Structure 1
Amino acid sequence: MFSPKGPSLRELTVQALSSVERGYDLLAPKFDHTPFRTPDAVLDATADALRPLGPFGQGLDVCCGTGAGMRVLRPLCQGRITGVDFSAGMLAQARRAHPEAEWVRADVRDLRFAGDFDLAVSFGALGHFLPAERPALFAGVYRALRPGGLFAFPIGAPQPATSPWYWALLGFDLAMRVRNAVWRPPFVMYYRTCPLHAVRDDLSAAGFTVTTAPLTALGRREDGSPRYGLVLARRPGAS
């Protein structure tokens, strides 16, 4: 799962026993050599799905990490592109890799942007927010967008109980719950706390109009349904 340039088991253990912010600061120099970095195939499929909806003006990557989302924003946005994250270590890596972008350190549960962006994206971040925290996150993204602005992110289809991945993800989440019950500070990272129906409800409550689009380039499940979909949450108003 990890390349030779990735973190050692000891480094991963230290990260997992840290806070989310400190853990990602520690992991940042090797993050792009782990399976936690969003694959290029997912980024490219997202960009392809968004292209007919653009072009866009200014773009924002929410929970940008080391800046992989710039692969989506750069060709789609005609204005400035910005990444926001609360890990200084991840932002340092992003700044080195993408010096043309702007980088902001902030807690995305309390975003201070106001009507600045036409497109916001996020990749692999929802599991770092407990369900009770999603309303603040989505409200901040809503404020950051101009009327007619779009918030887009890929989301995987639920795994059937017959899939080994179903049990692997369930086991991971249970292990994290035990870890957080007995160890402080907590490290919030769950795979099963953001089902599509709950995410849609929270986005709608924040004021978004929500649709989804299949990302068929990423393959289909045995029943023929797409493995991934793209959530398209639009702030109502002039486009």
Structure 2
Amino acid sequence: MFSPHGPSLRELCVQALSSVERGYDLLAPKFDHTPFRTPAGILDATVHTLSGPALSGPAPSGPAPFGSGLDVCCGTGAGMTVLRRLCRGPVTGVDFSAGMLAQAREAHPDATWVRADARALPFADGFDLAVTFGALGHFLPGERPALFAGVHRALRPGGLFVIGLGTPAPVSSVWYWATLGFDVAMRVRNAVWRPPFVMYYRTTPLAALSEDLAAAGFLVRIVTATPSEGAGGLLILARKPGPAA
């Protein structure tokens, strides 16, 4: 399904009837051959934007404006392409799926990989930049405060947390109704089947995310991600107060 190297329909059904962790362990070897992987256009647009004037406050000069970097809910490591281009120091990925981390480690052997629940991140004041792509739908609204508090704690004063988002689909688009239908189907599935598989596209409106980030102590901006080529999206820039390193 999706491509000759992607998962079959049967494999996707088995994944969907598993827990989130077990489902991604099963999907991991073929994940990069599915549409679930963060599009290269969003990754490129993130780098292009963060290398320019969208940064609040004075930005260090040079091709790598940040020190150390953290990819939150890293999956197979797509976000590492962003951290590698923006960070001059060590980079780390964290995820709770051992299968996804194994794929990430194989693709980026010189990065540090940590298995942990993103709602209880085991870091403190260690990073200048944190990013996450395509993962917020796995967290119920009530779980976001713990997630954002952990990222805030992981960043040094002045550090930046970047959430990459696609461009919101208009009500008239097929994608809008497809994501709505997907969320309804997942809610029905979780009402009748255990363990639950939390993945909702429509539980992360910008206003709610901004409020939760502000409550965690971040200074929040929303900017348009400007790609060097291809499609872009939106970026939430959440700055931990303090002088940047």
- Give the TM-score normalised by structure 2: 0.92
Pick from 112, 124, 128 the counterpart of residue 134 of structure 2.
Answer: 124
Q: Which residue number in structure 1 is paired with residue 22 of structure 2?
A: 22
Q: Does 1:182 align with 2:187?
A: no
Identity value in percent: 73
Q: Could you tell me whether the CA contact under 8 Å between 1:210 and 1:232 is conserved in 2?
A: yes
Extract structure 1 runs of 4+ deviating beyond 6 A.
none
Aligned length: 233
Q: CA deviation at 1:216?
A: 3.8
Letter in 1 for 2:127: F
For the aligned residue pairs, the C-alpha RMSD in angstroms reads 1.4
Deviations 1:38-96 (A, max 9, x none): 11111111011112345111000000000011100012111110000000000000000
| Distance (whole Å) between structure 1 residues aligned to residue 66 and residue 141 of structure 2 | 30
Q: Could you tell me whether the CA contact under 8 Å between 1:62 and 1:83 is conserved in 2?
A: yes
Q: Does 1:235 align with 2:245?
A: no
| Distance (whole Å) between structure 1 residues aligned to residue 216 and residue 149 of structure 2 | 5
| Distance (whole Å) between structure 1 residues aligned to residue 234 and residue 25 of structure 2 | 30
Q: Could you tell me whether the CA contact under 8 Å between 1:155 and 1:196 is conserved in 2?
A: no
SS in 1 for 2:214: helix
Q: Could you tell me whether the CA contact under 8 Å between 2:121 and 2:151 is conserved in 1?
A: yes
Letter in 2 for 1:155: L
Structure 1 stretches lacking a partner, 5+ long: 221-226
Letter in 1 for 2:37: R
What pairs up with 1:76-87 in 2 under 5 angstroms?
76-87=86-97
SS in 2 for 1:132: helix
Q: Which residue number in structure 2 is paired with residue 99 of structure 1?
A: 109
Q: Which residue number in structure 2 is paired with residue 223 of structure 1?
A: none
Q: CA deviation at 1:166?
A: 1.3
Q: Which residue number in structure 2 is paired with residue 150 of structure 1?
A: 160
Q: Which has the higher contact order (CA 8 A, sep 6+)?
A: 2
Structure 2 stretches lacking a partner, 5+ long: 53-58
Q: Does 1:70 align with 2:80?
A: yes
Q: Could you tell me whether the CA contact under 8 Å between 2:45 and 2:233 is conserved in 1?
A: no
Q: CA deviation at 1:160?
A: 2.2
Deviations 1:94-118 (A, max 9, x none): 0000001000000000012000000
Larger displacement relative to structure 2 (47-56 or 186-195)? 47-56
| Distance (whole Å) between structure 2 residues aligned to residue 128 and residue 182 of structure 1 | 18
Q: Which residue number in structure 1 is paired with residue 10 of structure 2?
A: 10
| Distance (whole Å) between structure 2 residues aligned to residue 140 and residue 57 of structure 1 | 19
